[in-house]
Structure 1
Amino acid sequence: MALGLRSITGEPVIDRENGEELMRVQPGVDIALANLPRESPGTLYITTKQVIWVSDVDKSKGYAVDFLSISLHAVSRDPEAYSVPCLYTQIETEADEDLNSDNSDSEESTQVHDLSIVREMRLIPSDPTQLDSLFQVFCECAELNPDQNNEEQEEEHHDWIFSADQMEDAGAASNQ
């Protein structure tokens, strides 16, 4: 996913015309993608539509993922799962894409990677006491972006549920 335009300071420009709002900015966050080496330091931007990480060392480097692509998020404090406390996420993947693909706009000198091809992402704040509040913001934004396929499946599922009155009416009709 391309971040689109960035301001002079290197921060992502939020698409406010389409209802996107900035929910949280968290400086001092490292990122670990799949089995790649941990990258640090960076600034995490959480909007109502996406999660964006921008390197503090190289402002032209960043990652972005839509909330619709995040299938799971959780706080991880288990040192056997990962060496430091982090916000763990699983991202739905597209198997035929290459992790090293470059999705930068020709007008932009910014290199942005599409995280929809990464299966796991860990966000590691320099202050681990921020994990619970980051998790809460993730929860709020995930609720703002329900999976449309799940809603359709739930609606179909509800077609199979009948009330007791409907069952009695159907039974009476078949006995006549």
Structure 2
Amino acid sequence: MVLGLRNFTERTKDGAGEPVLDADNGEEMMHVQPGVDIVLGNRPRDSHGTLYISTKQLIWLSDVDKDKSYAVDFLSLSLHAVSRDPEAYPVPCIYTQIESEADEDESDNSDSECNDTLDLSKIREMRLVPSDPTQLDTLFEIFCECAELNPEPNDEDGEEHDWVFSADQVEDEEEKDDIFHNPTNSIGQSDGDRDLARTVLALQINDQRFEDAEEMKH
């Protein structure tokens, strides 16, 4: 079940401490990153928080307002990438896209992001902005590791997918086979799309070979 972004309330010390994990189901803490701001959709940036990354979910807890605490399961993250393009966002950050089972309505989505009433089920984008930008690559690698720990339920074959890329990796791939999007785009691309593109490319090559063979025959 894809839950999307949600409020997080299970904290130690009567709701003022660290997040409580589901240890009975094997959830473990992977990384704690203090000094992380969060941006939900088009809303203003919320400053001074701590990011907790577990084997199951991302949890952001505000250091200023204890009522501001959000969580999203890795199963709900359809994409994550390192963004260093100032045209996409003024400061370097981790960009994520969030899936939810809530009905998607563009007008409702815009209203929920911009007005004072925040409907988390309508949030489709989230940015995490560490105060130390040098931590972006570390966070990205941890995201990738946790994503692999949470494969899609319908992935019966258990295949591993590198479905997230940093901007640098996308640029490298484009130089190799010219099948990716513009490298200035900070968003990653699914491995399924890459495989499909390579398959189409292979078919085109094979078609050309068949044409050459026909010409030689005649």
TM-score by length of 1: 0.73
Contact 2:102–2:121 (CA under 8 A) maintained in structure 1: no
Corresponding position of 2:11: 6
Shift of 1:61: 1.4
Corresponding position of 1:131: 136
Code of the residue aligned with 1:13 in structure 2: it is V
Shift of 1:42: 0.3
More helix by share: 2
SS class of match (1:122): strand
Shift of 1:150: 4.0
Contact 1:65–1:114 (CA under 8 A) maintained in structure 2: no
Of 57, 67, 75, the match for 1:68: 75
Shift of 1:95: 3.9
Code of the residue aligned with 1:45 in structure 2: it is Y
Taking the aligned partners of 2:20 and 2:78, their CA distance within structure 1 comes to 25
SS class of match (2:81): strand
Identity %: 72
Code of the residue aligned with 1:90 in structure 2: it is Q
The total of aligned residue pairs comes to 142
Of 25, 29, 40, the match for 1:33: 40
Code of the residue aligned with 1:59 in structure 2: it is K
Q: Which runs of 5+ in 2 are unaligned?
A: 1-5, 113-117, 160-218
Shift of 1:60: 2.4
Corresponding position of 1:119: 124
